A and B are shown apart, each in its own frame.
Chain A
């Protein structure tokens, strides 16, 4: 059933994100042409038009990134917390599956947005030589890291990807937990969701700060090589994000199971 939920979730969100990516990529091509025109032309009108196209491309990038975040929040609110919730919570699926479908789809859109912005950046590059240069430099950097640290370069990349995935999921869950608590009240559901969001943020920052201060008080002697220290820091970050996400996951599921309060 999770597969079917994902199918319909991608269908619901793809109709918004798909056209946005297309617009961004089209504007990237236009920005590329504009940059060439700006470089070659001395016409003031063409310069103004070219500048406008590049500005629109930048706005499209910002808009797409913001939309990925807004869509993650709005989809949970409209699909589970408002009228559509009567349909979704009476489907033969578990609350866990409903929450996971939202997390997975939002995280995929975050990753797709990151890729689309990268591709549009390459498309907008003034000359193709810049793209070749960029790709070859990335390749060189990766080869140098791998050659110098043996397998550690690839391991670091894998850790960074896992951290990005877990971090995105944890971010989604912070919003979901805030909304599921806020919407359990009879009135002012949106306002209380915002209050919950800031309360959760404050609480996690307090716990994080106290944890770091506590670590400082422990008089262990840490003997790590540079690379081992990086891996340990990455592992600690992944575990922290997992714990952070797990707490909000439990809050979200508990509220949706026991205190669901659809209008």
Chain B
């Protein structure tokens, strides 16, 4: 129950017009939040790739697209090849729950639950991207139109029986034994991550033509049903 509620809170933050959606956070506070990141990431003059890639110029960069030598996880490479780019919205989703946006990422970070903290740290990182503050429309302030998801739709409990039927369509490609060569595994994916991912495909925030098509015709109820089913699959 709490997991479900958490998932909905996250969705609301992503698409529902929570604090972050309206404005850029406070870069000074963001520098403090960045303490979570400094173990792996450098940013600013002379920043280099370490455990994680450096974050200079992250806004507008293709996922897994840092200059110079850095060995990304297959999951992140795949996301980049699919067309994932780092903008305010995608970075927000990523640092909120890295594994929900990019399955298989090596970024071992549980995520920042607080939308304000995310807004702040992104405002800080923005200082190290190309002068966007001088051009109001430029990345990262330029934003895709918001999508409102009503709380009633979000509160829908999935019917795992219906999910089992719908899942047969997924299993043509996603192997139920959890093997993930070439196509990611979705077996036992936590329901909230699943729901977030499907809505992100449906709204074409997550790139990938097959998944955008598949998710595009799933109703909110069907997404919930699939999430309920795949979470419990044996």
Q: Are A and B genuine complex partners? A: no
- B contacts, CB < 8 Å to A: none
- A contacts, CB < 8 Å to B: none
